[in-house]
Amino acid sequence: MKNSKLLLIGLLFTSFAVKAQDKAFEKGKITIDLGAGVGLYGTKVHEEYNQKEYYWTGSGIGTRTKRIKHDTTDASGAFIFPLQVEYGITNWLGIGARFAYANWIEERDSITKIKPKATSIDAGLVLNFHLIKSRRFDMPISLSIGYSNFKFMANDANDGIAKDNGMFYGIGLVPRIYFGDHIGMFFNLGYAGYNYPSVQFSDKNNSNINTKDDKDWKYKLKGNGANIGIGLIGKF
């Protein structure tokens, strides 16, 4: 009787272990995914600069410096190509690194026919919470944050450039479907944002246009909105 009970306990333990290993994500596994997507963002530009103005002093005309501030809202989009590596810390939590290249959508000028180019490169940390999963399906909640480098090239006669180092952040649902034990595909539906706090402008004649003519020009760029994407994933 005692041996029968031990055998039953052993079978139950083995059953639970097999079920745990049958899940699409588990502790100790490494996943690598490569994708392509589109981001659609609302943008906000905050601009400040010094402007000289003339005024009557009571006995003559004088000049003084006035600080001009204004905000502008717009919309923008980008084609995004992310690469992510993740390691399973537990059966439900993964930590990893995210790298991404974004090519921002720019319009060709109708008069000059010049088309500017804007790109960004991201590198940061990812936390994935794998709360919904089966043997072939996994849908983690993904949180990401990190460094972002932005560069805008006017492609004009003066070789105008704007660039800055900032940050990115995001949250999303990332359903994964596996065709076998190792290969699958994923979809991404998320919300993401970018913040570039001190954009610097230059051209071939001036390495820092922000300080030209004592304007002390400050230019901040923010954007946030929806990300959608698709890609391939490998599990090892």
- Specify the number of domains making up the chain: 1
What's the CATH code of the domain at 65?
A: 2.40.160.20
| Domain containing residue 23 | 2-235
Q: How far apart (Å, rounded) are the C-alpha atoms in residues 163 and 165?
A: 7
- Predicted model pTM: 0.85
Q: pLDDT tens track of the chain, all 236 residues?
A: 444 444 444 434 333 333 445 788 999 999 999 999 999 999 999 999 998 888 888 888 888 889 999 999 999 999 999 999 999 999 999 999 999 999 999 988 888 889 999 999 999 999 999 999 999 999 999 999 999 999 999 999 899 999 999 999 999 999 999 998 899 999 999 999 999 999 999 999 999 999 988 889 999 999 999 999 999 999 99
Q: How far apart (Å, rounded) are the C-alpha atoms in residues 86 and 98?
A: 9
* 38 half-sphere exposure, CB direction, 13 A CA radius: 4
Q: According to the model, what pLDDT value does residue 21 have? A: 53
**What is the sign, positive or negative, of the torsion defined by CA atoms of 179, 182, 183, 185?**
positive
